[in-house]
Structures are given as C-alpha cells and as structure tokens.
Structure 1
C-alpha cells in the first residue's frame, strides 16, 4: 500500500466540487452497504428505426438519435452507434477515476480519456476474414494532478478493475438475443 497523506489533510485540500462528489458517493456507498440487494438494477434502453436508418433511442427520461453516414445508406443526421459506445467508455472511465480520487481526498484537476478503436469495416458486410468487432482498442488516460505518479497509477488501476463500461469493453459477457416477428404473412404475432 502506498504511503498516503492523512485523510484530514487530503480533504482540506479538496476543491468544493470534489467535496460534494465525495460526500454524495459516500452516501450511496453507505446505502448499498446497508441494503446490498438495492444495488442490483436492470436498465432498459429501446431504439426504434422506421424509415431510413436513423434510430431513436430512449432510456427513462433520456433520448438520443443515431444514424449512419450517406456512404452506408443513412442520412448522417446524427452520430453513428459506435460513437455512443466510445462515449460510454470515455465518460465512464473519466468519471469513475474522478469519483474515486474525490472519495480518497486526492486532487485531480482534470482527467482526459481518449479511446482509439481499429476496425476492418469490410467485416460488417461479411467480406474478408476479420471479425466485425473491434480489432484493437486503446484507452489513453491523462491525469493532471500534483499527486505522485505511483498514487495516481494505483488509483487508476483500481478504478479500471471496477469500471462497468471499461470491463464491458475488455471482457466477454453473456449476451442473449431475443427475436419477435410481427405482421408476417403467416399470421404470427
């Protein structure tokens, strides 16, 4: 374990916004410790495509649109789905690092995350021998802080070990497709 400053010193040096993050997160942690069953959740996100390729996606009170470029038959009216996948990783990793730093009294003035993903686009058309999924993804994390590098590196490593969207990218998971066909000529639902 790294030699850390006392928590009193750490918290006194924190910006007010980091104190709010720390106190809010500690409240959530206390509730989850008291009622672990309440920490489990299922999020439902639904997208619908009618005419063209633009997809309107909703989850709770939020919505967004994705589309493909004209070269793929779309109208380029919104970012493609992969944009949002990379946004999820960038945002989740950056926020998780900042949250853990704030909880531990470390001052990270900024966290910048860049995701670079390599593809063989011919694979989505069944061409070639490459998989349709990403061939390689690089996650570059830059932290601006006066904390020593070993402390920052250790915190980032711990964060990545528990970050949901980083782990979704890195690790295989069970995905269960379900198909319902309606309006078919044979009278099915």
Structure 2
C-alpha cells in the first residue's frame, strides 16, 4: 500500500468552510438549471443635503460618508474613497475565501491590502492630470498550509471572477443621466 506524502494530505474542511462550500454549490446548481435569475440590477442611492455628508441606501442597508474639514466636510463618516477601497478589499478577500472553501482548500485567513496613488490637484481641475487613481496595488496575504502553487492558481482564477476587482481593472460602459 502506498501512503500519500504530506503534500497530498489535506486537512478536512472546517465546518464553517464546508457550509460555505455547500451553500455555494446549491446556488451554482440553481443558476445552471435556470440562468436568467442570475442576471440582476442593483440600485444604490446617495443623498446630500446641507453640507457634504452623504447618506447612501440600498434596500434595507444604509451608510454615511463625508469629507474632512479641508474639503468643507465635517469628517462625520469615512470618505467615498474609503468605501471604494473597502469594496475592493472586502470583495477580493471574501471571493478568495469562498473560492478556497468551494475548492476544498483550507485558508485560515485572507488579508487584502489596497494602496491607491492619486494626484489630488486634479479634483480641482488643476494641471493636466486625471482625478482617477494613477495606480492601485493589491497585496493578498493568505494564511494556509496549502501548496503555494495551488494558492496562486486559486487567486488568479478568483480575480477573473471578482466583480469589484474587475470593475477596478477593466474599462466598462458607464451611462450618466442628469434628471
């Protein structure tokens, strides 16, 4: 009898990861059986009254954002940029963890750092620079005993399916209507 080497023995998925995998597999099976409900439109609304604080709602969820005093705000909440970077960091970290669970890989922890460079003068139309970030860097740290090559393949595969990473990376059609 040939015993597998340590590189081929996988720890059993923890109960929580198994539940994540099982729930995703049910959703995937439903999407395969009936693909049309997988297409959706999500509407999020932002409202600014007096000052610069913005209340943003989507369904039953609500959050606030504001700018600091240097920009005329009250710093009563994080800035819109915080939420944009948070969306990317959170979406990538969650996607990597859920893909690992669905793939049977054990990741104890996934950390995603988003670092973004700007030319803030462009916010005021100064110079020729764009107000868009000049560069964004993601650093993904994974605490796992899985082989590094498998981790790298899983991360690459996950990024090709992650909506907010792709929104950051790829050009897209944006339609603006002023009503």
Specify the TM-score bucket, using the shorter chain as the normaliser.
over 0.9
Partner of residue 49, structure 2: 50
List aligned pairs for 1:148-163, cutoff 5 A.
148-163=147-162
Quote the offset at 1:128 in angstroms. Answer: 1.2
Report the TM-score when normalising by structure 1: 0.89
Moved over 6 A (4+): none
Partner of residue 16, structure 2: 17
Could you tell me which runs of 5 or more consecutive residues in structure 1 were left unpaired when the two chains were aligned: 181-189
What are the superposed Cα offsets for residues 64-107 of structure 1, whole Å, 9 maximum, x if unpaired?
00000000000000000010000000000000000010001100
Partner of residue 76, structure 1: 75
- Residue 84 of structure 2 is aligned to residue 85 of structure 1: yes
Quote the offset at 1:130 in angstroms. Answer: 1.1
Equivalent residues, number: 173
Partner of residue 3, structure 2: none
Partner of residue 101, structure 1: 100
Matches of 1:16 and 1:128, distance apart in 2: 55
Quote the offset at 1:164 in angstroms. Answer: 0.1
Matches of 2:38 and 2:16, distance apart in 1: 25
- Give the root-mean-square deviation of aligned CA atoms: 1.2
Matches of 1:170 and 1:60, distance apart in 2: 27
Report the TM-score when normalising by structure 2: 0.94
Matches of 1:20 and 1:99, distance apart in 2: 10
- Residue 22 of structure 2 is aligned to residue 33 of structure 1: no
Secondary structure (helix, strand or coil) at the match of 2:139 reads: strand
